[in-house]
Amino acid sequence: MKGSFNRILAYAVGTALFTLAVYYVAAVVRGPEKEYIAWNPVHAAVLTVLALAAGAAWGSRKALEGWRTLEVVVVANLSLVFGLLFLGWGMVWNAAKPLESLLPGLRDILYGFWFIAGVLAAYIIRKPGAAIAAETLAAAAEFLAGSEWGLTLLISGLVQGGMSEIVFAATGYRRYDLGTLMLAGAAAGVGSLVVDYLFWYSDKTLGVLAIMLVARLISGAVLSGWLAKALGDALHRAGALGSLAIAREG
């Protein structure tokens, strides 16, 4: 029991320190001229709490230590692919800007695709840490590919993946049905809005934020949860995932 507690605490604290370090580098070292954000103690505190929760979920099961090399490779490759797709999705996001003139916050109905890496990896691998690892690595790949949102992507990826991870952890990493995947995607939507509110949207009205939240919940459930299941099942039927958990557990 003590060993489990120490492991969970180590993951929680380590994740929180990593998040704060990235935030500090983005807001202070690189500065508002490059990252469009400035250091704020309240924002730092909220991010720390979110990171603690994400880290605790990540370290909550001993099975994390049992990843096979193949599983690591699959998650890494998925993250790279989706990091590039996320970069391309930015063009879709920018093209959909006219939706904001129809109803402020409506464009967020497209936001959920940015959560899919974590949910898909968790659905395929079915081990603790898959969601948070894949989403964070995909965000890192997007950043390295030249995304306009800079280092803040690492925080977004960490929080989004962490929120999905918490959903899977709450089931004991035993449920990967459509409802659980959609809930994981929706949870990532909540985390994404918290980060975006802290960095960019604090001037939005409560009504607009409510629309954004509903849109991200729906988008996360569909473009992340439902789509992850559809893609995972398609890959499984194609025989590409024969030695992974999705094939063994159905």
pLDDT in tens, 139-191: 999 999 888 888 888 888 988 998 898 898 888 888 999 999 999 999 999 98
CA of 97: how far to CAs of 69, 107, 108, in Å? 42, 7, 10
* Dihedral (Cα; 207, 201, 169, 115), 10-degree rounding: 100
pTM for this prediction: 0.84
85-124 pLDDT per residue, tens:
999 999 999 999 999 999 999 999 999 999 999 999 999 9
Say which residues have a Cβ less than 8 Å from residue 45's Cβ, sequence separation at least 6: none
Q: Phi/psi zone of residue 146: left (φ > 0), alpha (ψ -120 to 50 degrees), beta?
A: left
User: One-letter amino acid identity for 245?
Assistant: A
**Among 27, 34, 28, CA closest to 195:** 27
With the C-alpha atoms ordered 36, 88, 204, 184, is the resulting torsion angle positive or negative? negative
CA-to-CA distance for 98 and 116, rounded, in angstroms? 24
Predicted pLDDT of residue 51 = 80
Residue spans of the domains in the chain: they are: 67-249
* Two structure tokens written together for 75: 């998650």
89: closest CA among 226, 234, 195, 219? 219
Asked if the model's pLDDT at residue 130 lies above 50, the reply is yes
The whole-number pLDDT of residue 1 equals 40
pLDDT tens, position by position, 203-226: 899 999 999 999 999 999 999 999
Confidence of residue 36 (pLDDT cuts 50, 70, 90): confident
| Percent of the chain whose predicted confidence (pLDDT) is above 90 | 45
What pLDDT does residue 10 have? 81
Return the CATH number of the domain spanning residue range 67-249: 1.10.1760
